Structure 1
Amino acid sequence: MNLGRALLETPLTDAQAWGAALACAIAARQPDVIRAFAAEASVRLPAPAVEQARAAASIMAMNNVFYRAQHMIGGERHPAGLRMRTITSPVLAAAGVTRADFELWCLAVSAIAGCAVCLQNHDQGVRRAGLDAAAVHEALRIAAVVHAAAVTLDAAG
């Protein structure tokens, strides 16, 4: 019921909702959940957008670990020095993905990873890209229900 409400009764666009769901499924790392969301996203989104949702999950897998650890350690900060070419506007535009969509996907994945630094940065990015607090709330709901589905399936396995 919660999955349906979060994904089908949302003011988010299909790109925003299903891109977030796929990126979150990948972040939750449960194979059945990944397969199910990848199949549905491939029906609802163009292939380049699906690839960018996968890229958002990949980039945030890297960044969430680095920035969460750096935040926990405290003290002097150093640049990550990690390549993130797919975040550039020309790459996103070529895939038909808006900056707002990509930021929203990254925010949702960061919620699963529990990285406060990334959550704050992508919340700001979402808002700079023109979305509001309601969009952030919806993305967080999607992250929560996708993660819950993955945890539930893992527990049943």
Structure 2
Amino acid sequence: MSLEDLRGELPAYAKDLKLNLGSLANETVLDDQKKWGAYLAAAHGAANPAVVKAIEAEVADKLSEEAAEAARAAAAIMGMNNVYYRFTHLASNKDYRNLPAKLRMNIIGKPGVDKADFELWSLAVSAINGCGMCVDSHEAELKKAGVTTEQIQAAVRIASVVNAVSKVMQAEEGR
């Protein structure tokens, strides 16, 4: 299944999502690695099997294996970090913020791709997972690396659409 096939699977009520999937695939503010890595990280972050399968197929000839693996790793590590850091941020007891996380996160230091790309993909997944602390942290790193506001917005737009498509596909499976 490709991205086009996925668009075809969406019901009529998700017409805006169909259109957004297509227009974001033609996004030019991001280079191809950033764009397709954001798609792949968001798909894995949203975790709908049909969406993951379609986007994996779409990026197969668009991303190097290293970049694809890094995008998957961004989703994996953010699946952990977003829960942990959202907890430390939301807990009334602020002592948790001062404790070391004691969680392995080596991939963040050596993602195997350009650090800014990995940060962008991590931010996209953090937006899906609703961790404001992580969004702020990744956005600050991206700004230091010279990534523009428009590029950051484009990655989050991709994440928002991929997440919404994942929700629709999940809901349709239950009908």
**Fold shared per TM-score above 0.5:** yes
Distance in 2 separating the partners of 1:27 and 1:112: 7
Residues 7-156 of structure 1 aligned to structure 2 (within 5 Å): 7-74=25-92, 75-76=94-95, 77=97, 78-88=99-109, 91-92=110-111, 95=112, 97-156=113-172
User: What is the SS of the residue equivalent to 1:124?
Assistant: helix
Unmatched segments (≥5 aa) in structure 1: none
RMSD between superposed Cα atoms in Å = 1.1
Q: CA deviation at 1:11?
A: 1.2
> In the alignment, what sits opposite 2:3?
none
Q: CA deviation at 1:35?
A: 0.7
Distance in 2 separating the partners of 1:41 and 1:64: 25
Preserved CA contact (<8 Å) 1:25 1:146: yes
Match for 1:138: what amino acid?
A
Unmatched segments (≥5 aa) in structure 2: 1-18
User: What is the SS of the residue equivalent to 2:43?
Assistant: helix
Larger radius of gyration: 2
Distance in 2 separating the partners of 1:128 and 1:7: 26
1:41-74 Cα distance to aligned partner (Å, 9 max, x none): 2210010110010110011000000001111103
Distance in 2 separating the partners of 1:131 and 1:125: 9
Match for 1:124: what amino acid?
A
User: What is the SS of the residue equivalent to 1:44?
Assistant: coil
Distance in 1 separating the partners of 2:122 and 2:41: 8
Q: What's the % identity of the aligned pairs?
A: 46
Distance in 2 separating the partners of 1:61 and 1:155: 22
Match for 2:103: what amino acid?
L
TM-score of the pair, normalised by structure 2: 0.83
Match for 2:158: what amino acid?
I
User: Runs ≥4 in structure 1, deviation > 4 angstroms?
Assistant: none
> In the alignment, what sits opposite 2:16?
none
- How many pairs were matched up? 152
1:1-40 Cα distance to aligned partner (Å, 9 max, x none): 1011122123101110111111110111100001111111
TM-score of the pair, normalised by structure 1: 0.93
Match for 1:87: what amino acid?
I
1:94-132 Cα distance to aligned partner (Å, 9 max, x none): x3x211111100000000000000000000011111101
